[in-house]
Amino acid sequence: MPTSSPIRAARGVRDILPAERAAWAAVERAARQSARGFGYQEIEVPVIEPVELIERGVGGDTDIFRKEIYRLETHGDSEDEPGARLVLRPEATASVVRAYFQGGLNQGPQPVRLFTIGPMFRHDRPQFGRYRQFSQFDVEVVGDPSPACDVEVIEMTWGWLAALGLGSVSLELNSIGDDRCRPAYLRLLQDYYRPLRDRLHPDCQRRVDENPLRLFDCKEEQCQPFKAAAPRIIDHLCEPCATAFAEVKALLDAAGLEYRLNPYLVRGLDYYTRTVFEFQHGSLGGAQNALGGGGRYDGLAAALGYPDTPGVGFAGGIDRVALMVEQEAGEVPVPPAAVLVLPMEERLDAAAAQVGRLCRRAASAAVDYSRRSLRAKMRAADRSGARWAAIMNAEEAGRRVVQLRDLASGEQREVGWEDLPASLAGADGAGGPEASR
Ligand code: AMP
């Protein structure tokens, strides 16, 4: 008898079970293909980082840093690394830029094109499409200030979504200026919002003084009416920022990529300068409608204590993109194996294992060692999505043959064990184990 209630996953995190993992695998595979197609190289960065990386990179005043960071409790760190305070990463850009310098990638040919896929952690209120652990496809071009790189990142990541067959994806675009033009614009924005402060949501009342650009991120009903008349940063860009933005738009036009200018798009991270963009999907609701986004971050390297170095990047949400792939394409089927070996008696286990080994020379194969009846095994095989069943009785095992049954057509024929690899060649088609890797 269990003595306490069964243990469940922590709130806001989830298991990706095989049925859903298949869509994830398709999404990750398309991400790697798109990135490699543009010459991006894969990198791994730690899930654990010093808190300062996030504080100085993402920004100490962002919601991510103030409210959503998971801080780690550790044992004995104080002796090894006095003062080390560690967090679970909420995003990967700051880590990738740190790795670019720490690993000496800044010494080689520039720019450096990198991508990584992995889990991020944010302690946000869980809801559909928003989780406390989620996975991102993260893309970075470090070491080149050209607007052409901004457009390359957009083109590559749009290609990723298109390769997955996602319809109704739209691109939103804005420029949020840089150190030269943003401070004066922020003062204008504060002048506009200060007289309205009492009518704003409490979070926004604080933002007016502390981080006015964040006022545009607000989704509270009571703050919406004031946005329309607020000064827009694209009307206040300095000359170099305006020129860069014009070039981004011209290059998007030349590439045939459609976009919608959204003066309220500011994104939740402090490190962005100039171009910011977001891909949205029509059928994802409300605040969770972004599939991914990114922008230029020319000030990030210096904020982390490294030499001034330009960069541009993108982060796409694997969870949300996989949800959309499932919604549009239906469940991506992954049979546990292309061949199911079905021994009819217990004493055939060793022979069945050997037949499984031979099948695996050409296709994935699993053996049903259960003591169920053949009928029950056949029913399970039909339901599994496997392509073939290799049925074995004692007499046939003696002759080293199986009955190989095509589960779709019901056709069945006798095949010698040694001929199985040739008979099964190509059985792992789309949706097979290869496809899920
Ligand atoms: P961000 O790093 O906030 O720009 O997010 C980039 C993308 O990651 C978003 O567009 C989402 O697709 C995804 N994402 C961000 N936060 C979450 C979350 N809490 N749960 C699921 N996906 C997320």
User: Among the atoms of ligand 1, which is closest to the Cα of residue 91?
Assistant: 2
Q: Using the predicted structure, report yes or no on whether residue 79 has a pLDDT greater than 60.
A: no
Indicate the residue type of 228: A
Q: What is the pLDDT of residues 87-116, one digit of tens each?
A: 999 999 999 999 999 999 999 999 999 999
Q: What is the pLDDT of residues 307-341, one digit of tens each?
A: 999 999 999 999 999 999 888 876 666 667 999 99
Indicate the residue type of 70: Y
How large is the average pLDDT for residues 405-428? 93
Q: pLDDT band for 290, please (50, 70, 90 cuts).
A: very high
For ligand 1, is residue 313 a contact (CB within 6 Å)? Answer: no
User: Among the atoms of ligand 1, which is closest to the Cα of residue 320?
Assistant: 12
Q: pLDDT band for 433, please (50, 70, 90 cuts).
A: very low
How large is the average pLDDT for residues 57-68? 86
For ligand 1, is residue 122 a contact (CB within 6 Å)? Answer: yes
For ligand 1, is residue 136 a contact (CB within 6 Å)? Answer: yes
Identify the residue with better confidence: 62 or 122: 122
Q: Using the predicted structure, report yes or no on whether residue 436 has a pLDDT greater than 70.
A: no
For ligand 1, is residue 270 a contact (CB within 6 Å)? Answer: no
Q: Using the predicted structure, report yes or no on whether residue 303 has a pLDDT greater than 60.
A: yes
What burial class does residue 39 get, using C-beta atoms within 10 Å of its C-beta: 0-12 exposed, 13-18 middle, 19+ buried?
Answer: exposed
Q: What is the pLDDT of residues 228-257, one digit of tens each?
A: 899 999 999 999 999 999 999 999 999 999
Q: For a pocket test of ligand 1, which of 117, 320, 324, 325 has the largest count of ligand atoms closer than 8 A to its C-beta? A: 320
Q: For a pocket test of ligand 1, which of 63, 130, 136 has the largest count of ligand atoms closer than 8 A to its C-beta? A: 136
pLDDT of residue 430: 39
Q: pLDDT band for 80, please (50, 70, 90 cuts).
A: low
User: Among the atoms of ligand 1, which is closest to the Cα of residue 268?
Assistant: 3
Cα 137 to ligand 1 centroid, rounded to whole Å: 10
Q: pLDDT band for 4, please (50, 70, 90 cuts).
A: confident
Min mean pLDDT across 18-22, 99-103, 190-194, 332-336 is at 332-336
Q: Residue 290 and residue 374: Cα distance in Å, rounded?
A: 49
pLDDT of residue 432: 39
User: What phi, psi does 116 have (nearest 5°)?
Assistant: -150, 155
For ligand 1, is residue 292 a contact (CB within 6 Å)? Answer: yes
pLDDT of residue 287: 60
